[in-house]
Chain A
Amino acid sequence: MNAWLRQHGRAIASAAAKISAQRTTNAVSALVIGIALALPAGGYALLSNLTGLAQRTSLEPQLSLYMLPETKSSESEALGKRLRADPRLAAVRFVPRDEALAAMRGTEALAEVFAALERNPLPDAFVLRALDSAPGALDVLAGEYRVLPGVAQVQIDSDWARRLEAVLRIARTGIFMLGALLGIALVAVTFNTIRLQVLTQRQEIEVTKLLGATDGFIRRPFFYLGAAQGLAGGVAALGIVWLSIESLNQGVRALAATYGSAFQLTHLAGADGVAVAALAAFLGWLGAFLSVSIHLREI
């Protein structure tokens, strides 16, 4: 056990010596790996955010009902009574056209547009919350309300979220494919850097072999080297993703505020971060393993 620990301790020390002997090369490889991994890791982070948003929204059984522009307010009130009597609805909120206009004028981005208008172009509207959130139930309600007198349009608010969810499912597959490709690239990068290391240390390897070093002794430091490089790349990728989300969030927060939302992008979860780093370390080890297995045979 003690001897085993000592062997690994020496391998780690030897790997550290190899790293510091070629600091720049190793730093550049780690950065290249980091940038390559940041793409799928960042994509995954954005996707998680959007998926969360879409799922939350698509679960809201909300309908928007817009009246024809020329509808009188008495007609709207009559419809309101009728809707409030509908047992399938949990809540009915009436948004008079004047209130809607005032809200628009209060929005920074739209204030100027609406200030320039002479007439209020907005119709009366109702925001409805159904008891049953199943898409089928919402479709039935929308179909019924659409033919009521004075109704211009009924919109299921969560429809866009459902469509977004479907798009995100496709995007997720794309991200995983990208991740797989860049994972292979990571293996290739370590394969190559380790090959260069093996070649520059050819003489040392030859001599240690002649003096009785086992293959394991010679290979171990390279494995640690590959894993360390992958790990460094993984950590660099996490740093890049973190910085990107931070800087995106400045814009996102401002945009969400105009919708009265406190939405912002969340960072990769701790477990996801650990998984990215561990996977990168494993792929680095794999690249080193393949490289050493092939190139040591030539010595």
Chain B
Amino acid sequence: MIGFSKVSKRYPGGFEALKDVSFSIAAGELTFVTGHSGAGKSTLFKLIAAIERATSGTVLVNGQNVGALRPAAIPFLRRNLGLVFQDQKLLYDRSVFDNVMLPLAFSDFSGREAARRARAALDKVGLLARERAHPMQLSGGEQQRLAIARAVVNRPAVLIADEPTANLDAGSAERIIALFLSFNQVGVTVLIATHDEQLIARHAARTLRLAAGGLEHDSAEGGE
């Protein structure tokens, strides 16, 4: 489903954020990506979504070489991915409901079908009652859930969440992880970046540990 092979990413300016990273994730797998701040977790996600391009190596998503995609093909790659951004990227000038409607605007659903799906996604994250609120009026955890609702509204096969539990108390974080587990149970491939070690410890899932841009440990390969 997702494969990295000898991937390096050097940002303009010369900083090497990923160094020779290789791994492969099967469809339906749940994987944590962890590592210190600046280790390269967000960079790894950006390469999957073609927000950044690998300097060397190949990134495969669904059999497509992401680095070689034509610009016109990139939107269609992204539509198959549910993305939860580290900074959430909510639009604060429109309602909760309209934020979730955003990815449906360029789908082929009729207005009524799109609204139905948006409400289903909001219901799933427990925000249906707040659909008329504005993101500013939501708590941090509610904003995270809104970002998740927007990511899953198109029912993507892959869900990628960058620090979805940052700044949340343990209980709220656990509820959000439970939400991802429920998506994973219905067959969605889920990638979650977090540096919450306790959270990882509570779940028996595959973990990729990055350190200074290198893949330090892949729990699927065992050993240290």
Contacts and interface: CB of A to CB of B under 8 A. Distances in A.
Among A10, A212, A217, find the residue whose CB has the most chain B CB atoms closer than 10 A: A212
Contacts of B78: 210-212
A118 B89 CA distance: 95
Contact of B108 (A6, A204, A211, A213): A6
Interface residues of A, number: 17
Given A6-B110, A217-B106, A207 B91 contact: yes
B89 A207 contact: yes
A24 interface: no
Contacts of B75: 209, 212-215, 217
A208 B94 CA distance: 13
B84 to A, nearest CB: 11
Interface residues of B, number: 23
Interface string A9-36: 0100000000000000000000000000
B106 A214 contact: yes
B205 interface: no
Contacts of B9: none
Nearest to B50: A210
Contacts of A206: 89
A203 interface: yes
B141 interface: no
B103 A204 contact: no
Interface in B89-114: 89, 91, 93, 102-103, 105-106, 108, 110
A13 to B, nearest CB: 10
A211 B103 contact: yes
A10 B91 contact: no
A210 B83 contact: yes
B106 A210 contact: no
A6 B89 CA distance: 26
A211 to B, nearest CB: 5
Given A206-B89, A212-B81, A212-B106, 5 more contacts: A208-B102, A210-B51, A210-B83, A213-B105, A217-B75
Q: Which 4 A-B pairs have the closest CB atoms?
A: A212-B78, A212-B79, A211-B103, A3-B108
Interface of B: 49, 51, 71-72, 75-79, 81, 83, 85, 89, 91, 93, 102-103, 105-106, 108, 110, 150, 154
7 contacts: A204-B93, A208-B105, A210-B49, A212-B81, A212-B106, A212-B154, A214-B106
Interface of A: 3, 6-7, 10, 203-204, 206-215, 217
